[in-house]
Chain A
Amino acid sequence: MTARIERPLSPHMQVYRWTLTMALSIVHRATGIALYAGTLLLAWWLIAAASGPTAYSHVQAFTGSIIGRLIVFGYTWALMHHMLSGIRHFVWDLGYGFKANEREALTWGALIGGIVLTVLVWIIAYAIGGGR
């Protein structure tokens, strides 16, 4: 190892003026971390379905409770938002949408679209009887 050279570091977040794209970049990461933890719920549900009626009824009791329903609702939003925000990243990866108004529009689209899709999914879920 060579001796450490004290190079100037780029300043940390707090010196920058907050922008929407910057805030949503953090939200993208935060929803990713939430989804990471949420896979435990998905795995538990599948294992319970494979295990038998008792195990499955535990999952249903949890997802039917207020706290469980809030977690699943939050999970739905994290998934929808992360997906749309990810599509925004694909657009940027392909080299489009870098103008100021375009990146703002894409970011607002991911933010609003994520909420709209989440509400839509839950309305459909309740309409077909998932609320029981």
Chain B
Amino acid sequence: MSFDESHGAPKGSSMRTPLGRVRNLGAAHSGTSDFWRQRITGVAMTLLMIPVIVIVMMLLGRNQAGAAQILGSLPIAVILLLFIFASAWHMKIGMQVVIEDYIHNEKLKLISIMLNNFFSIAVALASTYAILKLSSGV
């Protein structure tokens, strides 16, 4: 080993430089796939925003029976399902970025990321279940 000890690499360790180990992976150790999905879901929600606002407007002032009838119709259910799927994914990635930026304790960071996943999936599944239930009319 011709490694200069002052550079911090102990004898017998990998030949890879610190830069080489982190290059192309970033703080999340998972590359740029989250960055790209954040953009896809963001564009999807932007496109869905007007239909979603129209749907919410249609429901204003109605009772449960009226709301259930509107929410159960096929195009409305599909628009809401797409919106829920995109927002759950988008917010999961967004919150993970916030956690990675501010929580420096490794264990606490992993627990927070795990809870973030649980929350996002739970919200998405609960909302999806509600829409499917309304669509099936039971």
Contacts and interface: CB of A to CB of B under 8 A. Distances in A.
Contacts of A119: none
Contacts of B98: 29, 32-33
A43 interface: yes
A98 interface: no
B10 A2 contact: yes
Nearest to B91: A36
B94 A53 contact: no
The dominant DSSP class at the A interface is helix
The dominant DSSP class at the B interface is helix
Contacts of B45: 83
Interface residues of B, number: 37
A39 B65 CA distance: 23
Interface residues of A, number: 36
Contacts of A55: 64
A39 B126 CA distance: 11
Contacts of B65: 53
B30 to A, nearest CB: 19
A46 B127 contact: yes
B78 to A, nearest CB: 14
B57 A2 contact: no
B51 interface: no
Nearest to B131: A46
A130 B67 CA distance: 13
